[in-house]
Amino acid sequence: MSFEDILEAAEQGHDAEAQFSLGAMYEEGLGVNQDFARAAYWYLKAADQGHASAQNNIGSLYYNGTGVFRNKKKAKHWHTLAAAQGHQAAQRNLSKLDYPYSGDKEITFGKIMKYILISIVALSLIGWGIDIITGLIKR
Protein backbone atom coordinates (compact mmCIF):
# COMPACT_ATOMS: atom_id res chain seq x y z
CA MET A 1 0.00 0.00 0.00
CA SER A 2 1.26 3.46 -0.83
CA PHE A 3 1.36 6.36 1.61
CA GLU A 4 -1.54 7.97 -0.28
CA ASP A 5 -3.64 4.80 0.07
CA ILE A 6 -2.91 4.57 3.80
CA LEU A 7 -3.65 8.28 4.26
CA GLU A 8 -6.94 8.00 2.38
CA ALA A 9 -8.04 5.02 4.48
CA ALA A 10 -6.96 6.73 7.72
CA GLU A 11 -8.75 9.97 6.87
CA GLN A 12 -12.03 8.12 6.37
CA GLY A 13 -11.93 7.67 10.15
CA HIS A 14 -12.78 4.02 10.57
CA ASP A 15 -9.57 2.21 9.64
CA ALA A 16 -7.63 2.03 12.92
CA GLU A 17 -4.87 -0.03 11.32
CA ALA A 18 -4.24 2.65 8.67
CA GLN A 19 -4.27 5.34 11.36
CA PHE A 20 -1.79 3.34 13.43
CA SER A 21 0.42 2.84 10.35
CA LEU A 22 0.47 6.59 9.69
CA GLY A 23 1.38 7.21 13.33
CA ALA A 24 4.27 4.77 13.04
CA MET A 25 5.42 6.28 9.75
CA TYR A 26 5.48 9.79 11.23
CA GLU A 27 7.12 8.63 14.45
CA GLU A 28 9.92 6.80 12.64
CA GLY A 29 10.17 9.05 9.57
CA LEU A 30 9.37 6.18 7.21
CA GLY A 31 8.61 7.66 3.78
CA VAL A 32 7.69 11.00 5.41
CA ASN A 33 9.48 13.64 7.41
CA GLN A 34 9.62 12.62 11.05
CA ASP A 35 6.87 14.50 12.91
CA PHE A 36 6.04 13.42 16.45
CA ALA A 37 2.98 15.68 16.71
CA ARG A 38 1.45 14.06 13.62
CA ALA A 39 2.41 10.64 14.97
CA ALA A 40 0.53 11.45 18.18
CA TYR A 41 -2.48 12.68 16.18
CA TRP A 42 -2.79 9.44 14.23
CA TYR A 43 -2.01 7.21 17.20
CA LEU A 44 -4.82 8.94 19.13
CA LYS A 45 -7.26 8.36 16.27
CA ALA A 46 -6.43 4.64 16.25
CA ALA A 47 -6.24 4.38 20.05
CA ASP A 48 -9.73 5.84 20.39
CA GLN A 49 -10.92 2.92 18.28
CA GLY A 50 -9.29 0.41 20.62
CA HIS A 51 -6.11 -0.34 18.67
CA ALA A 52 -3.83 -1.79 21.37
CA SER A 53 -0.49 -0.93 19.72
CA ALA A 54 -1.65 2.63 19.09
CA GLN A 55 -2.75 2.88 22.73
CA ASN A 56 0.68 1.70 23.83
CA ASN A 57 2.51 4.06 21.48
CA ILE A 58 0.48 7.15 22.40
CA GLY A 59 1.04 6.21 26.05
CA SER A 60 4.78 6.21 25.43
CA LEU A 61 4.62 9.58 23.67
CA TYR A 62 2.76 11.03 26.67
CA TYR A 63 5.20 9.41 29.09
CA ASN A 64 8.22 10.90 27.30
CA GLY A 65 6.60 14.17 26.24
CA THR A 66 7.38 13.47 22.59
CA GLY A 67 5.08 15.33 20.19
CA VAL A 68 2.72 16.05 23.09
CA PHE A 69 3.06 17.61 26.52
CA ARG A 70 4.40 15.11 29.05
CA ASN A 71 1.47 13.71 31.00
CA LYS A 72 1.97 10.59 33.12
CA LYS A 73 -1.76 10.37 33.90
CA LYS A 74 -2.61 10.10 30.18
CA ALA A 75 0.33 7.74 29.68
CA LYS A 76 -1.03 5.47 32.37
CA HIS A 77 -4.55 5.65 30.90
CA TRP A 78 -3.41 4.52 27.45
CA HIS A 79 -0.96 1.90 28.71
CA THR A 80 -3.67 0.48 30.97
CA LEU A 81 -6.12 0.13 28.07
CA ALA A 82 -3.51 -1.59 25.90
CA ALA A 83 -2.31 -3.81 28.75
CA ALA A 84 -5.90 -4.93 29.39
CA GLN A 85 -5.90 -6.27 25.82
CA GLY A 86 -2.80 -8.32 26.60
CA HIS A 87 -0.32 -6.00 24.88
CA GLN A 88 3.00 -7.07 26.47
CA ALA A 89 4.96 -3.88 25.79
CA ALA A 90 2.13 -1.87 27.38
CA GLN A 91 2.26 -4.13 30.43
CA ARG A 92 6.00 -3.44 30.77
CA ASN A 93 5.49 0.28 30.20
CA LEU A 94 2.72 0.35 32.79
CA SER A 95 5.07 -1.19 35.35
CA LYS A 96 7.46 1.75 34.79
CA LEU A 97 4.69 4.14 35.78
CA ASP A 98 3.76 2.12 38.86
CA TYR A 99 7.30 1.99 40.24
CA PRO A 100 8.97 5.40 40.29
CA TYR A 101 12.51 3.97 40.51
CA SER A 102 12.26 1.84 37.40
CA GLY A 103 12.42 2.86 33.80
CA ASP A 104 13.88 6.32 33.44
CA LYS A 105 15.56 6.49 36.87
CA GLU A 106 18.67 4.48 37.54
CA ILE A 107 19.63 3.48 41.06
CA THR A 108 23.40 3.39 41.49
CA PHE A 109 25.63 2.65 44.45
CA GLY A 110 26.76 6.29 44.41
CA LYS A 111 23.18 7.56 44.70
CA ILE A 112 22.46 5.19 47.56
CA MET A 113 25.58 6.33 49.43
CA LYS A 114 24.70 9.97 48.81
CA TYR A 115 21.28 9.53 50.42
CA ILE A 116 22.74 7.56 53.33
CA LEU A 117 25.28 10.31 54.00
CA ILE A 118 22.61 13.01 53.76
CA SER A 119 20.49 11.06 56.25
CA ILE A 120 23.41 10.67 58.67
CA VAL A 121 24.22 14.38 58.50
CA ALA A 122 20.56 15.30 58.98
CA LEU A 123 20.23 13.00 62.00
CA SER A 124 23.46 14.40 63.46
CA LEU A 125 22.20 17.95 63.06
CA ILE A 126 18.89 17.01 64.67
CA GLY A 127 20.76 15.42 67.57
CA TRP A 128 23.00 18.49 67.90
CA GLY A 129 19.91 20.74 67.86
CA ILE A 130 18.24 18.66 70.56
CA ASP A 131 21.40 18.90 72.72
CA ILE A 132 21.38 22.70 72.37
CA ILE A 133 17.67 22.97 73.21
CA THR A 134 18.05 20.62 76.18
CA GLY A 135 20.98 22.70 77.46
CA LEU A 136 18.94 25.90 77.14
CA ILE A 137 16.00 24.38 78.97
CA LYS A 138 18.21 23.19 81.85
CA ARG A 139 19.55 26.73 82.46
Is 0.75 surpassed by the pTM of this model?
no
Domain count along the chain: 2
Report the alpha-carbon distance of residue 36 to residue 24 in Å, rounded: 9
pLDDT digits (tens, 9 = 90+) for 23-77: 999 999 999 999 999 999 999 999 999 999 999 999 999 999 999 999 999 999 9
Angle CA 23–25–32, to nearest 5: 125
Helix, strand, coil % (nearest 5) of the chain? 75, 0, 25
> Is residue 114 located within the same domain as residue 98?
no
The answer to whether residues 59 and 77 touch, using CB atoms and an 8 Å cutoff, is: yes
Same domain, yes or no, for 53 and 118? no
Same domain, 125 and 76: no
Q: From the CB of residue 136, how many other CB atoms can be counted at a distance below 10 Å?
A: 8
